[in-house]
Amino acid sequence: MKRVLWFRRDLRVEDNPLFSLDGEVLPVFVFDTQILNALPEDDKRVSFIFDRVLKLKKSLQAKGLELKIFWGDPVEIFKVFEVQGFDEVVASGDYDAYAKERDIRVSHLLHFRYMHDTYIFKPTEILKDDGTPYLVFTPYYNKAKTLFSKEHIQKYTFGEHSLYKTSYEGITKIDKDKEEILPLDIKSIGFRENLPKIDQVETKLKALKENLPIYAKERDFLDKEATSHLSIDLRFGTISIRSLLCFLAEQKKSGVDTEPFFRQLIFRDYYAYLLFHFPTLATHNYKYRFNGLEDQEKYSAFCEARTGVPVVDAGVRELLQTGLMHNRVRMICASFFTKDLLLPWQWGESFFAKYLLDYDAASNILSWQWSAGTGIDPQPYFRIFNPYLQSKKFDKGTEYIKKWIPELREVDAKKLHDESYLLNYSIENYPKPIVVHKEASQNALAYFKQRL
């Protein structure tokens, strides 16, 4: 059996299902021009991926294998493999709309074998007794706990392979029927290096081990370091979900309460599960007809961190500068965007998608629908976060706010949680709030009720 092993969201050798199959193999990674053409040349994610692809290549070489790197349209590239007589392509499942459409097109050229890898459960594994998907998280979570077994943490073993004979030098550019070998440099694919500062997985696991006992109580606080910071690693598969579960199992044996963290991993699964079963969620409301008001001025103020609401502007600045944003801040920003500013959630989702290093279509889309009140979540539309109360609770000393907005460092923390102060007093080099929260939330409720 001669197989193409197609790496996508699994940039590692250890515990990779692609290597569990024996036979002659051609490991490949494709820099997909259908995705890359829409990105700026300094996109941090491309630098991160390029760096991890080079590390993957070295890891494979240590195993006596190699990685052939391509640049182009995957469908055009796989036409070449079809001509070369490969029996099948093997890849881990990917469930967003573009990925599914792309994989279907590739499957028309070669037999396509999906390997389960990215999530704990397969998307059809947890269903109600009548065979339909769950629409509420808690019943899904309870069912997941009953079904979770040792099989879900069973790592894949490395098989016996022979390497397909071809050139593995440089980057192979394929444009329709033309093939060109380019230098192994990020500049060859039209980007410049802008590598984000990301700790190694081992460093993050060590920190998580220390933080697990306080994770449930402190993960939402912006001045704490209780989160795992592993979302980007799970997104690109630099750690397998099974390895992380094994790590949790070891901590549980030591008496650590791992349930809160495990619950968040199941939540990640749940959002992917919903997008798999309800693909229209990517662009359309699940419930309600309201779609927000298109206001370019308010949108620009949000995207440029000029709303005058400190915690919101701090979050956007963190995103623009680092590609990261604390999960609690994502919730605050999304609520402010869809409720206070009454902007379409799709606009906010696209903005986050452009900058988040850990961008995952399912998690981002479903989170924005949750904030907008338009998704599958049973909570009605009237859930509205007060950004000032949120910052007072989760960033009381304003350490997070002042880190990202140095113009506010000399302002007393209490004043930065006080909307009245911000509205009535001028702060040098910082704008006043563009909306009054109480008025904006009342306007939002009125708008929603009119369109029920």
Return the domain boundaries, the chain.
1-116, 119-150+201-277, 296-450
For 36, 55, 219, the CA distances from 222, given in Å and listed in that order, are 33, 32, 8
Strand, helix or coil for residue 72: strand
Looking at residue 29, what is its pLDDT? 98
Q: What is the CATH number of domain 1-116?
A: 3.40.50.620
Task: Read off the pTM.
Answer: 0.94
Q: Which fold has domain 119-150+201-277?
A: 1.25.40
Token pair for residue 303? 């995207």
The amino acid at 64: G
**Cβ-count burial 179-217 (b if 16+ within 10 Å, e if not):** eeeeeeebebbebeebeeebeebeebbebbeebbeebee
Encoding tokens for residue 237?
């598969």
Cα gap 95→273, rounded to integer Å: 9
Q: Which pLDDT does position 208 carry in this prediction?
A: 96
Q: Which of 207, 210, 203, 177 is nearest to 79 (CA)?
A: 177
Half-sphere exposure of 382 (CA within 13 A, CB side): 6
CA distance 83 to 222: 54
Q: Whose CA is closest to 384, among 433, 435, 313, 442?
A: 442
Report the CATH number of the 296-450 domain.
1.10.579.10
What per-residue confidence (pLDDT) applies to 257?
Answer: 96
What residues in the chain have per-residue pLDDT under 50?
Answer: none
Backbone angles phi, psi at 424, to 5 degrees: -105, -15
Inter-residue contact 115 to 90 (CB < 8 Å): yes
